Chains A and B, each alone.
Chain A
């Protein structure tokens, strides 16, 4: 199972747990499973874009230390570590 680090401002949804173990082979599966266990998570991390549920553009998702580029379809390994952090932007 992947280890998911929970942002502190979302820990009200995870009984104050800072890390949870969740199954899922993609970010979408992981979020679906998190939502089942901790209702409200997706509302905080996702948004609707033309009717499609996507990761909020204000959130950066790191899998095993690498910022993902493929959104919901990004693959997750069985022992991956996943972080949801405020997104970064760039300038030049």
Chain B
């Protein structure tokens, strides 16, 4: 039976295929894996944020009973400097290898220096303490301001500024610089100055972590025939395989990566950390080796989102038309180049028509853990700055913030501020839906220091290579093999797309995420690409299956032509449904690997009400509504879950989360007790509104949905707090101390 959207399966809410295993605790995660004779690895990490390694003596640790091996940076093959693309952010192989195990210098507290493999974890931990390291401690830089100062300590003497392919000869901490420039900026600002308003502000955000529940873990087992098997928690099994192959100079064809269930990633489980270390120790000892990080190691030794310093200036005429915008973005890359400043610049003004624009972006290295992708990487920071300035303009011009966005908002055919023309998008539809929502029509009590904030956000979404293998069983059920690790319910959403094409129930498709030897090359689960790209490939595989079965049914019925529609095969005088046909045709196998395109960008518009306690400075979220163009919602419950999850993370960025560093660049709050992520006690029910503007780049209109919802919350909450207390908030997180300071209470 078809639902209101014209589909039978798309848009329904079946129980997820992996649900029973998850709720009964039977699902296998990386740390659950054990082998007889398995060794346990423990990493020795740098206690200093910046230091030269003068000497490293492992002899005493090696003699400790139970210790089987120790590796240091000198045991890794020398990796050439080259750029490779494993996930979504390009990797410099030399930097990647050095981040896995430092060679001559350490660039952040927590950087790995040596790894012990022992018969049990306690022995490994004790042996780590026996490794003697002599350091020459160097001055460190832990903020953008320090790093770009003229007399700054330079982290990498070989690093010079890359300005769109052109390099300087001067060592610096600014790894790259780019610029977007369109129109006549001075003309645009003069129009606003003479007939409107210009607002300029500087904003800061702090280093924040994805906070995935499951820590990084890897188990490696090497066979004497050269075959290396790795079980791990990752967003991309093929990306892991290729990184390990590069770092260890081991043939990719002799590496099998088995992705186990993943307890969250959000971009942080694409780059490898302990995986090559477990692999090398297994190669050297011939025994299985497992390394699992502690939470402290996850905070200090993996890739958080970068802290940023952003200056934004926007001009608008009295009637609310944006005439010009400019921005300078400084993103902390951490110890090695490669922050997401490019995406921040690309996304921050994309919701608007802006005729005159300049954005300069700078990627800056500092003595902190190497920054990594985190859900719409770079976009929350830039949009926080842009959307706060827009809100201040609305206040100064006394224009409703949603009316302002309707007036300036981008539609299909409009030119993006950075140049390209928008395809089919649904931004205006999100603003309209927010405007008519009961939340926006409701009253707030300004006498109680309540405020309402609005912000919009954009993420470009990705496509790329995926593989799906479908096997039709004799009973009409389907085995669906895929290479996309399932973070947010994608197994169900991909199975549902295949089911829709085949005309069967979602429950009749059994999806499985399989290893790198069992399925074709598949890109990472990242960039909000999986339901779009792997779903599209599943559709192609299902279409292939139908084509094969039509041929077989033609032979069976001895007719020249067989049609397939509404889940049934038919010829001129015969017909049968898919299950009956499967009895005749099975087994049928459809296998497709394809590099897809057609990812449609996504927009969201959020409404939030807050109440600020003037005595304590605490900000309470009273009500939150997230509106988003989701293209076509395959499984609406999982779309809603993505939106709610993104908002909760945004509440953390806005109100409580930050890495707190000491003077020497050491993290002071590397536990969940002290690194304050929001819990259910900090968040109200987050209402969601799914706006469906189908993406023409996908047969069912799918757009990526996972990253957009983290883009607006920072600014939405900051705008709400600013309106509640009458002070413009520019620095995150807005914890009680920051709020009390804004109120001149401390």
Q: Do A and B come from one complex?
A: yes
| Chain A interfacial positions (CB closer than 8 Å to B) | 5, 7-10, 18, 43-47, 49, 56-58, 60, 62, 64-70, 81, 83, 85-92
Would A83 and B419 count as touching, CB distance under 8 A?
A: yes
A46 to B164, CA, bound (A): 10
* A residues near B375, Cβ cutoff 8 Å: 91-92
Contact of A69 among B165, B265, B596 (CB under 8 A): B596
Would B166 and A81 count as touching, CB distance under 8 A?
A: no
* A residues near B528, Cβ cutoff 8 Å: 90, 92
Would B346 and A57 count as touching, CB distance under 8 A?
A: no
CB distance from B174 to the nearest CB of A (A): 14
CB distance from B90 to the nearest CB of A (A): 4
Would B595 and A90 count as touching, CB distance under 8 A?
A: no
Asked, given contacts A44-B164, A92-B706, A92-B707, whether A85 binds B346 with beta carbons under 8 Å apart, the answer is yes
* A residues near B416, Cβ cutoff 8 Å: 65
Q: Quick one: closest B residue to A85, CB to CB?
A: B418
Asked if B422 CB lies within 8 Å of chain A CBs, one says yes
With contacts defined as CB atoms under 8 Å apart, how many contacts are there between chain A and chain B in the complex? 146
Q: Which of A5, A18, A90 has the most CB of B within 10 A?
A: A90
Would B421 and A65 count as touching, CB distance under 8 A?
A: yes
A64 to B460, CA, bound (A): 15
19 A-B contact pairs sorted by A residue (CB < 8 Å): A7-B164, A7-B181, A43-B166, A60-B342, A62-B420, A64-B421, A66-B597, A67-B460, A69-B595, A70-B597, A83-B419, A85-B418, A86-B341, A90-B707, A91-B266, A91-B373, A91-B374, A92-B266, A92-B707
Q: Quick one: closest B residue to A86, CB to CB?
A: B342
CB distance from A41 to the nearest CB of B (A): 9
Q: Quick one: closest A residue to B374, CB to CB?
A: A91
A70 to B464, CA, bound (A): 9
Would B90 and A87 count as touching, CB distance under 8 A?
A: yes
CB distance from A51 to the nearest CB of B (A): 11
CB neighbors of A among B347-381 (8 A): 347, 361, 373-378
Contact of B488 among A10, A44, A92 (CB under 8 A): A92
Would A89 and B343 count as touching, CB distance under 8 A?
A: yes
Would A89 and B340 count as touching, CB distance under 8 A?
A: yes
A5 to B181, CA, bound (A): 11
Asked if B655 CB lies within 8 Å of chain A CBs, one says no
Binding stretch for chain A, among B81-89, B563-571, B630-638: B81-89
Would A90 and B419 count as touching, CB distance under 8 A?
A: no
Asked if B423 CB lies within 8 Å of chain A CBs, one says yes
Would A90 and B267 count as touching, CB distance under 8 A?
A: yes
* B residues near A49, Cβ cutoff 8 Å: 82-84
Asked, given contacts A58-B342, A90-B528, A92-B488, whether A69 binds B597 with beta carbons under 8 Å apart, the answer is yes
A66 to B301, CA, bound (A): 36
CB distance from A72 to the nearest CB of B (A): 14
Q: Quick one: closest B residue to A8, CB to CB?
A: B181
Q: Quick one: closest B residue to A43, CB to CB?
A: B165
CB distance from B122 to the nearest CB of A (A): 35
A69 to B266, CA, bound (A): 23
Would B89 and A86 count as touching, CB distance under 8 A?
A: no
A66 to B416, CA, bound (A): 12
CB distance from B652 to the nearest CB of A (A): 15
A87 to B340, CA, bound (A): 9
| Chain B interfacial positions (CB closer than 8 Å to A) | 82-85, 87-90, 162-166, 176-182, 210, 265-268, 340-343, 345-347, 361, 373-378, 416, 418-423, 459-464, 487-488, 525-529, 595-599, 697, 706-707
CB distance from A18 to the nearest CB of B (A): 8
A5 to B347, CA, bound (A): 19
Would B266 and A89 count as touching, CB distance under 8 A?
A: no
Q: Quick one: closest B residue to A19, CB to CB?
A: B419
A89 to B363, CA, bound (A): 14
Chain B at the A interface: SS class: loop
Asked, given contacts A86-B346, A90-B462, A91-B707, whether A57 binds B90 with beta carbons under 8 Å apart, the answer is yes
- List 7 A-B pairs, minimum CB-CB distance, nearest first: A91-B267, A90-B527, A44-B165, A86-B342, A57-B90, A8-B181, A89-B88
Would B463 and A69 count as touching, CB distance under 8 A?
A: yes
* A residues near B163, Cβ cutoff 8 Å: 9
Would A90 and B88 count as touching, CB distance under 8 A?
A: yes
Would B420 and A89 count as touching, CB distance under 8 A?
A: no
Would B420 and A91 count as touching, CB distance under 8 A?
A: no
Would B527 and A65 count as touching, CB distance under 8 A?
A: no
Contact of A88 among B162, B178, B460, B697 (CB under 8 A): B460
* A residues near B84, Cβ cutoff 8 Å: 49
Q: Quick one: closest A residue to B598, CB to CB?
A: A66
Q: Quick one: closest A residue to B182, CB to CB?
A: A18
CB distance from B274 to the nearest CB of A (A): 20
Contact of B165 among A45, A67, A70, A83 (CB under 8 A): A45
A56 to B598, CA, bound (A): 21
CB distance from B177 to the nearest CB of A (A): 8
Apart from A10-B165, A90-B376, what are 6 other A-B pairs with CB-CB below 8 Å?
Answer: A7-B178, A57-B83, A86-B341, A86-B342, A92-B266, A92-B706
* B residues near A57, Cβ cutoff 8 Å: 83, 85, 90
* B residues near A9, Cβ cutoff 8 Å: 163-164, 166, 177-179
A64 to B88, CA, bound (A): 22
CB distance from A21 to the nearest CB of B (A): 16
* B residues near A86, Cβ cutoff 8 Å: 178, 180, 341-342, 345-346, 361
CB distance from A20 to the nearest CB of B (A): 14
A45 to B488, CA, bound (A): 35
Would A8 and B179 count as touching, CB distance under 8 A?
A: yes
Q: Quick one: closest A residue to B183, CB to CB?
A: A18
* A residues near B265, Cβ cutoff 8 Å: 92
CB distance from B443 to the nearest CB of A (A): 36
* A residues near B423, Cβ cutoff 8 Å: 65-66
* A residues near B462, Cβ cutoff 8 Å: 90
* B residues near A7, Cβ cutoff 8 Å: 164, 178-181
* A residues near B166, Cβ cutoff 8 Å: 9, 43-44
Would A65 and B267 count as touching, CB distance under 8 A?
A: no
* A residues near B210, Cβ cutoff 8 Å: 91
Q: Quick one: closest B residue to A58, CB to CB?
A: B90
* A residues near B165, Cβ cutoff 8 Å: 10, 43-46, 56
Would A68 and B527 count as touching, CB distance under 8 A?
A: no
